[in-house]
Amino acid sequence: MLLWIGWGLATLLIGLLVVALAARQLRTATDLIRAETGRVAVFGLLGLVVPPLVAVLAMVTLVGIPAGIGVLIVGWPMLAFAGYLVGALWIGEWIQGRRRQSAPAKARPYGAMLIGLLVAFVLGFVPLLTFLISFFGVGAVLLAGWRTVRHGGAPAAVPVVQPSPVAA
């Protein structure tokens, strides 16, 4: 139990640090989950299958063994963790409702990350839910990265659909 709490606190601190350092990139990825769920799922599936396949193919050669092991032991888990953080932020934003936040909260979504990680932490008792959070987060990270590479360093704009205000 103490290990689980320690892991949760470390994840929370890392999540808040990532918000401080990469809020724009996180926003891009969470917008993709909301706006292009199908593409995010396809990229999530690619993120699930391609890294171990590439690692195993690299390990066929003697020179590729260190790279393959590095992908399996370091690269792939780091991608899954980054996806978990993006998925948790998306959950936090969904719970908070981004339309009600002030400008500083939109710029650096500390509250949304805190809420999302706490919810994801509790949902962690069901391993399938943790997998789904990471799966969609990985898809969003890979899709945002793909678009950044294709567009020369700046991610492509994600169309954001704003709900129409309801008249009182």
The whole-angstrom separation of Cα 48 and Cα 42 is 10
The whole-angstrom separation of Cα 25 and Cα 27 is 5
- Which amino acid is located at 97 in the chain? G
pLDDT of 38-49, one tens digit each? Answer: 999 999 999 999
pLDDT of 12-38, one tens digit each? Answer: 999 999 998 988 888 889 999 988 989
The whole-angstrom separation of Cα 122 and Cα 152 is 39
What is the per-residue pLDDT for 124?
Answer: 84
Four-residue CA torsion sign, 55, 59, 62, 65? positive
| Average pLDDT rounded to a whole number, residues 120-138 | 90
What is the per-residue pLDDT for 163?
Answer: 56
Quickly list H helices, the chain.
2-35, 37-58, 65-70, 76-96, 103-107, 110-123, 127-150
Cβ(144)–Cβ(28) below 8 Å: yes
pLDDT band at 127 (very low <50, low <70, confident <90, very high): confident
Residues whose CB falls within 8 Å of the CB of residue 147, separated by 6 or more in sequence, listed in order: 155, 156
